[in-house]
Amino acid sequence: MSDQAPKVPAAKDILHLSDVQVRIAGSHILQGIDLAVADGGVTALLGRNGVGKTTTLKAILGLVPSTGLIEFGGERIDGMPTHRIVRSGVGYVPEDREVFGSLTVEENLKLAEVPGVQPDYDTVHELFPELHERRKQRAGTLSGGQQQMVALARVLLGPAKLLLVDEPTKGLAPKLVAEVGDVLARVAERTTVLLVEQNLPLVRRIADSAVVLDTGRVVHRSRAAELLADEALLDSLLGVSAAALPGAAGAVAEPARHPGGAEQ
């Protein structure tokens, strides 16, 4: 393991977690997460399946009960209701996109508008011109990549300062992986992104920093490029080798499955 000591939040950190713990149905999922996310760019949250990546995102949002300290923009948000956390500027793109398939693209976006906040359709249309063209199309008839863009567009309508994005390329064809990567890169020019992703070539392409979890704890922090260039470290932390990382953005290097089973 490397760099296990808690990180003291710097002025440039937009998000800070200290000793965050989560127990669900008797299982100790997060066992003292210490994590800092710099303001701007993409921080990749990596790890084998079942180590607590998704649970970490849900703890930040208040979707699961947790203990410990969670600060966003210098203010404590642990214990705060989820709707207030979202209003403070945290957006969430869940693993399975969760668009309303029977509604049009336009209706999906309309439902995401925050009362009392002017929706930022200018940014959404600039980033996702195809969605504007398909605004009358039912979301359930879109491709997986287009549905992922709807999911991202929904959170960008509000005043999101931080996006929590959970495995956005899961189940997508290589061409669509590349398209989603392009969109995430453009989004990261405007908004900080904490990204859970198994596609390591994509992480190498767009991430600035990398944090690795194992058994509910942070076990490594570094620049993403440094981690992905270190074959011994990759094998130790993720169960893959640097040789499994071709240059093509659509290629997938899938970490070995953690003995604990599916992601919590």
Condensed to tens digits (0 to 9), the pLDDT of residues 151-180 reads: 999 989 988 899 999 999 988 888 889 888
Q: For the whole model, what pTM was predicted? A: 0.83
Which CATH number is correct for 13-244, 3.40.50.300, 3.50.50.60, 3.30.365.10, 3.30.1330.60? 3.40.50.300
Three-state DSSP class for residue 100: coil
In residues, how long is the chain? 264
pLDDT of residue 6 exceeding 90, the answer is no
Count other C-beta atoms under 10 Å from residue 128's C-beta: 22
| DSSP per position, 34-69 | EEEEESSSEEEEE-STTSSHHHHHHHHHTSS--EEE
Condensed to tens digits (0 to 9), the pLDDT of residues 178-222 reads: 888 998 998 999 899 999 999 999 999 999 999 999 999 999 999
d(CA 175, CA 50): 27
Q: Which helix (H) or strand (E) holds 135?
A: none
